[in-house]
Amino acid sequence: MDAEPSTEFGEIEPPSDQARSAAIALHTQLVKPAGSLGRLEELGVWIAGCQGQAPPRPFTRPRVVVFAGDHGIARRGVSAYPQEVTSQLVATMLTGGAAINVLAAAAGAGVRVVDMAVDTEESAMRSIGEFKVRRGSGSIDVEDALTDAEVRAAVAAGRKVADAEVDGGADLLIAGDLGIGNSTPASVLVAALTGSEPVAVVGRGSGIDDNAWMRKAAAVRDALRRARAVLADPLALLRTSSGADIAAMTGFLAQAAVRRTPVVLDGLVVCSAALLAEELAPGARRWWMSGQLTGEPAHALALEHLDLGGLLDLDVRLGEGTGAVTALPLLMMAARILAEMTTHEQSGVAGPLTPLPAP
């Protein structure tokens, strides 16, 4: 393990304003009334800015990276499922049978699984455990999730994964999460960074009943007290209140911005990591688009804090990157509109009427 992995991201260069302006101008020339394709036009402009060219290229190698890890707080009964389900779901994902495998295949995206802290040493896990930090995490209501060395290693791992994907040709990235109980640390992080109270961030997660909701609210309350003591230091907040999977996602999202690669965000857990990535690398959020809205209250708070709106509202709250992948065809369409539609001049279709002079 690297003794002192880098957690410095430097200045984040924004998407190209020149390409954005060119895309806006191109939209006015296409054979349609200006603005008639609504948010699809906005998406195309964002893609053009990220790629630095107008028209943009349709995406050819979108990639989903699922960061898996167990959380000590799951032992408090905050989830509808037992902790061993994490490793079982990872195994299912590796054989192509999980929801993200099916949806990604339909959307033309590849899937990679990274075991950061699954509480197992099974052979299937070892095959994806190059960056594994530990088995599980501390129970964040009474102890830190990670050590200083572990949080730095996890952030650095996320950076390395992002670099490897971009160097391998990925032109759009999606982070996915997998871990029983992970919405609890995510809710704590969102509450800490948005100044919210526990009751405002605790949702139903995996489908918990009222008793489990009360246990979860108590866990978030106790963990939030610890989180607020280190609020000024993003790495300390990750150490205290996240987990190796969320810390790795944080590094992944920030490094994607460093590498000028657009990202589609998923639900609550990924967006909690996005809040920390924006703290570590201010301006990174300009490289992200939110794929969806969910019913999780902390997710809405995180998106508001990031000033991002969701593309779809299908109540997809599974995680794994599923909500983001579901939005991927919209981005494909948005790019192809600019790349493939004809202009008024090319088609011979008359443009808008010139306003008559005032009498």
Q: 234: buried, middle or exposed (CB in 10 Å: 19+, 13-18, 0-12)?
A: buried
CA separation for the pair 138, 140 (Å, rounded): 6
**DSSP assignment letter at 119:** S
Q: Are 28 and 34 in contact (CB under 8 A)?
A: yes
For strands 263-265 and 288-292, give the pairing: parallel
What's the Rg (C-alpha) of the chain?
21
Phi, psi of 16 (to 5 degrees): -70, 120
Nearest to 65 by CA among 261, 282, 240: 261
Among 186, 10, 181, smallest CA distance to 84 is for 181
Query: Per the residue annotation, which of 165, 278, 279, 320 is the catalytic one?
Result: 320
Of 271, 281, 227, 231, the closest CA to residue 251 belongs to 281
Residue from 243, 297, 242 nearest 268 by CA: 297
- Burial of 84 from C-beta contacts in 10 A (0-12 / 13-18 / 19+): middle
Separation CA 325–CA 175 (nearest Å): 10
Instruction: Let me know if 84 is a catalytic residue.
Output: no
Active site residues: 320
